[in-house]
Structure 1
Amino acid sequence: MDFHLRRRMIDLLRELAPAEGYTLTPLADVRLLRSDRPLSRTPVLYEPGIVVVVQGRKRGLLGDEVFVYDAEHYLVVSVPVPFTMETDASAEEPLLAIYFRLDHGMAADLCMRIDERQGSSTASPRGLYASPMEDALAVSVLRLLEALARPPEADVLGPALVREIYYRILSGAQGGSLRAALAQQGKFGMVARAIRMIHSRYRDALSVDELADEAAMSAPTFHVHFRAMTGTSPMRYVQSTRLHQARLLMLREHATAAAAATAVGYESASQFSREFKRLFGRPPVEEVERMKRNFALPAAMTPSPYVSSH
């Protein structure tokens, strides 16, 4: 990336995100992220979206794979995948990033238009991948940041500039993988249906057989394809989804641990506490206090069918 372009992006993001945590923008599905300190391995659950890092570095660990997203790479999440994330940042060089929650309607329209001109993608769909930042995309991101720095422009030009960024990603070097994932064909699409079921019914006592039926697969086949796509087993995924939602309930709605446990489907408070600590490394109350101290977490974005960790 051109040095002067990157320097301008950093200056704008420092101005737009003066405090740690997530900062809202006039665009409902766009948030800015700042972190002034390194973050050790932390479980996260991103809903479908795109993370563009302007300064600093994040690493996502999913099974044996490591996904680096930094000033030279952006991250794409096409289906919610629980993974472990760590951050390189400091007060002198904070992590500065933009998070775009995926607008499926906009993406579907662009996919159709791109496929009409280039043909349908033959790439393999992927739930999570990091891709090199191309110059055209960097210029589009800078244009969006400049608009966000001028509120009237953000309101009027922002949606078109976000669409431009989507186009750059969907038509870029690895855009075929995202287009294939959004088309949700084949085994990928079948597992994606089961994932949507988990996110809409995480409170219920779901079984592997129910999820396999939703995916129109046998239980053994479903288990194999689910693990290949998410890096975990179906029941571990259900557990992770419940625990991430419980943490958000305690953080955003000030629910007690017992109330949050009940709300996400746990019948045993002690089991909830054990599994919460196993995932996040701290008991519920300590983890929520840590989040309050270290992260600004504004209200939820527009309603989403997916649970997420932010």
Structure 2
Amino acid sequence: MKHDWATAPRRATHDARNGLPNPVIPAADASQRPRRPQEGSTAMPTTRLAERLSAMNLPEGVTTSPLPNVYYFRSSISRPRAPVVYDPGIVVLAQGSKTGHLGDRSYVYDARHYLVLSLPMPFECETNVEPGKPLLGVGVTVSPALIAELLLDLGETAVANPPEHSVEACVTPPEMIDAAERLVAALDNERDTRLLAPAIAREIAYRALVGDRGDALRAVAARHGRYAEIAGVLREMHASYDRTFNVEDLAGSLKMSPAMFHRHFKAITATTPLQYLKAIRLDKARLLMASEGIPASVAATRVGYESRSQFSREFKKHFGATPTEEAAKWRGHVPSS
């Protein structure tokens, strides 16, 4: 799904994904400005979607839905730039806006622009809301199997060359908004959840796949090439974050030198392997403390830290608050175990 920390949740790894203010970027360098797709006639307001989500009286943060790969999120206040982790998938906002920052690039997504991610990606995000209009949205996580199935039905193949970026913001077409509205409605009924919701979530993935930035999702199903190899490593690190990873071993498994592995890894993630793993571990620790109420020492061990002091030091540097402060801040904003 999620974690804006969320947000892009995952059922047990939801982030309360939040956005942050844009950095000051010299006007002369247009390539680094926040990527907000050009408005077009194909975009449409998401009022009905916002009304449906508002009527649900969602709690702050991320909320799991009856469907494992779908989640909701809400934020009644603007939140400053902070680290989050998103799973591969699509984020559709009905109200409010977020700005995600990855490396030297920024992505704005709001009621007229959805976000698509092809890899589990730690980045930074800020949330912006207007008084009386909380940020509301729905996210759908996708798997390589789902994208491969859709490509097979389309008679197409995964991209031979990697996409320029693993995160993209795209103008939301009317069909995407309509599908999101129907998905939220279906999830409000037990029978519709079983019979209709999975197909509608699949439709949302399809709409993104055939959209202007579909290559970002096509890459999810790629099995060959450097992008696919690094993507495989990211998924492994994401799933087994409590393990010890050795960069030399990872590089060797891909028949790369450590220097080449670092270069390809950073080109895709805008960070180093060790920093990526650290971000995943700290995000998971925050989730565990907030959702399960466990102390920092237990969370540190469960995410792979051997030193409590190192965990506390790196946690505060990453989030700008101690584990206890951050857990108290997010407790009640994420689903409990």
User: Given the two structures, how large is their TM-score scaled by the length of structure 1?
Assistant: 0.88
**What SS does the corresponding residue of 2:196 show, helix, strand or coil?**
helix
Q: CA deviation at 1:225?
A: 0.8
Gaps of 5+ in 2: 1-42
Residues 170-191 of structure 1, C-alpha deviation per residue, up to 9 Å, x if partnerless? Answer: 1112113311332143111111
Residues 186-230 of structure 1, C-alpha deviation per residue, up to 9 Å, x if partnerless? Answer: 111111122133234432332210221233311101101111111
CA contact (8 A) 2:219 2:228 kept: no
Q: Cα–Cα, structure 1 residues 187 and 269, in superposed 2: closer, same or farther, change >3 Å?
A: same
Further displaced range: 69-78 or 245-254: 245-254
Aligned mates of 1:244, 1:143 — CA distance in 2: 31
Q: CA deviation at 1:263?
A: 2.1
Q: CA deviation at 1:264?
A: 2.1
1:298 maps to 335
Q: Cα–Cα, structure 1 residues 83 and 182, in superposed 2: closer, same or farther, change >3 Å?
A: same
Q: How does 1:226-265 map to 2 (within 5 A)?
A: 226-265=265-304
Count of aligned residue pairs for this structure pair: 294
1:210 maps to 249
Which residue of 198, 213, 218 corresponds with 1:179? Answer: 218
Aligned mates of 2:189, 2:299 — CA distance in 1: 40
Aligned mates of 2:272, 2:145 — CA distance in 1: 30
Q: Cα–Cα, structure 1 residues 248 and 173, in superposed 2: closer, same or farther, change >3 Å?
A: same
Aligned mates of 1:276, 1:120 — CA distance in 2: 38
CA contact (8 A) 1:12 1:149 kept: no
Residues 145-165 of structure 1, C-alpha deviation per residue, up to 9 Å, x if partnerless? Answer: 332344433332111111211
- Report whether the alignment pairs 1:63 with 2:103: yes
Q: CA deviation at 1:49?
A: 1.9
Residues 253-282 of structure 1, C-alpha deviation per residue, up to 9 Å, x if partnerless? Answer: 222211222222222211111100000100
Q: How does 1:35-50 map to 2 (within 5 A)?
A: 35-50=75-90
Which residue of 27, 44, 51 corresponds with 2:91? Answer: 51
Aligned mates of 1:234, 1:103 — CA distance in 2: 22
Q: Cα–Cα, structure 1 residues 288 and 138, in superposed 2: closer, same or farther, change >3 Å?
A: same
Q: How does 1:155-166 map to 2 (within 5 A)?
A: 155-166=194-205
Q: CA deviation at 1:39?
A: 0.7
Q: Cα–Cα, structure 1 residues 19 and 198, in superposed 2: closer, same or farther, change >3 Å?
A: closer
Q: Flag the structure with higher helix content.
A: 1
CA RMSD of aligned residues (A): 2.0
Aligned mates of 1:65, 1:21 — CA distance in 2: 25
Which residue of 147, 165, 171 corresponds with 1:107? Answer: 147
Aligned mates of 2:190, 2:264 — CA distance in 1: 45
Aligned mates of 1:2, 1:272 — CA distance in 2: 45
**What SS does the corresponding residue of 1:84 show, helix, strand or coil?**
strand
Aligned mates of 1:270, 1:249 — CA distance in 2: 18
CA contact (8 A) 2:162 2:219 kept: yes
Percentage of pairs with the same residue: 39
Q: Structure 1: which amino acid aligns with 2:114?
A: Y
CA contact (8 A) 2:118 2:219 kept: no
CA contact (8 A) 1:147 1:153 kept: yes
2:126 maps to 86
1:304 maps to none
Gaps of 5+ in 1: 301-310
Residues 44-89 of structure 1, C-alpha deviation per residue, up to 9 Å, x if partnerless? Answer: 1112221111110011001110011111111112111110000001
CA contact (8 A) 1:193 1:214 kept: no
Further displaced range: 199-208 or 131-140: 199-208
Further displaced range: 272-281 or 175-184: 175-184
CA contact (8 A) 2:289 2:299 kept: yes
